[in-house]
Structure 1
Amino acid sequence: MRTYDVAPLFRSSVGFDRLFDLLTQAERVEPSAAWPPYNIEKVAEAAYRITMAVAGFTAEDIELTQHDTTLLVAGQRKDQDGEHQYLHRGIAARTFRQTFNLAEHVKVTGASLENGLLTVELKREVPEALKPRRIAINGDQAAGGQDNARAQLEGDAKAA
């Protein structure tokens, strides 16, 4: 894997701190960040789905929290391991904490847990006030538009 030095970008840009933090954070990915495995898919133009493999966890063991543009998925099993005597333990039941950075105006619309897969539905809903709008060009100048005719001064009016 290649690494890129983004230090020169820090010197010539202002206000892109969050973007640069994401770039440098991507270089320092922890091995535990890959667990549990997950998929991110685009389902429609403004709809997304995150699917996480959380076998052995119940809905009560998983906590979903959205704060601004961050989605936190955390899981911790509540049952005691003292009840069972394992000869081999191959199903991971360790706690996890996965953070997803969401774009502006992306909201969680639903979540479900079925067959060991946690599915989180996301939708981008841009408010009407922030959507681009088309502005009509009015050909009538008398409607309060800008008049490009030469302004006449009082002295010019007498000479004419």
Structure 2
Amino acid sequence: MSRISAFSSPFLLGFDEVERVLDRVTKGANEGYPPYNIERIAANESQFLDGRMEGGDILRITLAVAGFTRDQLDVSLEESQLVIRGRQVEDQDRHYLHRGIAARQFQRAFVLAEGIEILGAELKDGLLSIDLARPEPEKVIRKIAIDVKD
């Protein structure tokens, strides 16, 4: 059975990569751990706006990573994806009578649009916050000359 793409319209040229990104995002959307928030924050709330950005948005991704230390977390940019990994090691010296808190690993990826800049990450009170800048795009208008052939 063939799949009909929303990007198969003849008016959408060169959007093959967008379709691949959407496929990747929908496959990874079923993961529920760790829970996260994405918020838009006002420029005056951001500690990163030291004159580096004029206009645009600041976005903050906050993940609930209780029980993870800074050394057990890894935040990286892989091509156009922000990837957050957490690795906890089992403590073999402990003997549990009840184990409700499991040592677990996770990987959460966010596909970033072109031009998004990662400003920094902070771990505080079991929450990992990553701030991103989305600069205001420049408006480009280019006149195309029309040649006349005889």
Q: Same fold (TM over 0.5)?
A: yes
Question: Once the 2 structures are TM-superposed, how far is the Cα of residue 21 of structure 1 from its aligned partner?
Answer: 2.0
Give the match's secondary structure for 1:10: coil
Letter in 2 for 1:20: E
Residue 125 of structure 1 corresponds to 135
TM-score, normalised by the number of residues in structure 1: 0.66
CA distance in structure 2 between the aligned counterparts of 1:30 and 1:124, rounded to whole angstroms: 22
Aligned length: 125
Partner SS for 1:7? coil
Q: Which runs of 4+ in 1 moved over 4 A?
A: none
* Deviation readout 1:2-57 (Å, 9 max, x if unpaired): xxx643633644321222123334443464x2211111111135100000011110
> Which one of the candidate residues 19, 39, 59 is aligned to 1:48?
59
Q: Deviations over 1:56-109 (max 9, x none)?
A: 10001101111342111011124x421211222222421111110111111111
Highest CA radius of gyration, 1 or 2? Answer: 1
> C-alpha distance in 1, partners of 2:85/2:5?
33
Structure with the larger RCO, 1 or 2 (CA within 8 Å, 6+ apart):
2
Match of 2:107 in 1: 97
Supply the distance in 2 between the matched residues of 1:85 and 1:20 (Cα, whole angstroms).
Answer: 49
What is aligned with 2:69? 58
Question: TM-score, normalized by length of structure 2?
Answer: 0.70
Query: Could you tell me which amino acid in structure 2 is paired with residue 74 of structure 1?
Result: R
Q: Let me know the Cα RMSD of the aligned residues.
A: 2.6
Distance 1:117 1:74 in 2: 14
Q: Calculate percent identity across the aligned residue pairs.
A: 36
SS of 2:96's equivalent in the other structure is coil
- Structure-2 change in CA distance of 1:6 and 1:25 (3 Å): farther
**Which structure has more helix as a fraction of its residues?**
1
**Aligned residue type for 1:35:** Y
Correspondence 1:109 to 2:115: no
